[in-house]
């Protein structure tokens, strides 16, 4: 359970990092001159020339379209919700692991653990 909790926490951290990178990228795209330039170039160029554009230009264009449609904010919100759920699940798994450790420790102290081990040997 401890490994599972750390894995869930790691995934939550990965989601948070991805969200932060998306926000940083969006902030870079928000520079007014770049957005304006991109919007003008989109209006002037025909759609079939899309494949001739450099990857950065296509990515910026895609992000701008996502921003306009609200999809980027929705994606960021979904990522934040998922991160929160994963953090909650990681906290629950850490609590379960702590209870298991306490239970094993108490069983060892009371002698129940050795008794169970002897019974298992006899079977």
pLDDT at 72 over 60: yes
| The pLDDT value given to residue 31 | 61
| The pLDDT value given to residue 13 | 81
Alpha-carbon span 116 to 119, nearest angstrom: 5
Mean predicted confidence (pLDDT) in 32-60: 66
**Which pTM was predicted?**
0.46
Whether 64 and 35 have beta carbons less than 8 Å apart is answered as yes
Q: Is the dihedral of CA 52, 19, 13, 8 positive or negative?
A: negative
Whether 96 and 11 have beta carbons less than 8 Å apart is answered as no
Structure tokens, 59? 């990515």
pLDDT at 30 over 70: no
Q: Which residue has the tokens 């910026």?
A: 60
Mean predicted confidence (pLDDT) in 30-49: 61
| The pLDDT value given to residue 32 | 55
| The pLDDT value given to residue 54 | 80
Q: How confident is the model at residue 71 (pLDDT cuts 50, 70, 90)?
A: confident
Structure tokens, 10? 């790691």
């Amino acid at each position: 359970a401890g490994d599972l909790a750390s894995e869930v926490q790691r995934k939550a951290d990965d989601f948070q990092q991805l969200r932060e990178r998306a926000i940083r990228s969006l902030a870079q795209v928000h520079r007014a001159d770049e957005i304006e330039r991109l919007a003008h170039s989109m209006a002037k160029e025909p759609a079939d020339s899309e494949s001739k554009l450099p990857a950065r230009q296509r990515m910026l264009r895609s992000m701008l379209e996502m921003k306009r449609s609200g999809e980027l904010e929705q994606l960021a919100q979904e990522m934040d919700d998922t991160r929160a759920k994963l953090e909650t699940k990681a906290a629950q798994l850490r609590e379960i692991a702590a209870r298991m450790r306490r239970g094993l420790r108490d069983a060892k102290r009371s002698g129940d653990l050795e008794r169970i081990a002897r019974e298992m040997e006899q079977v």
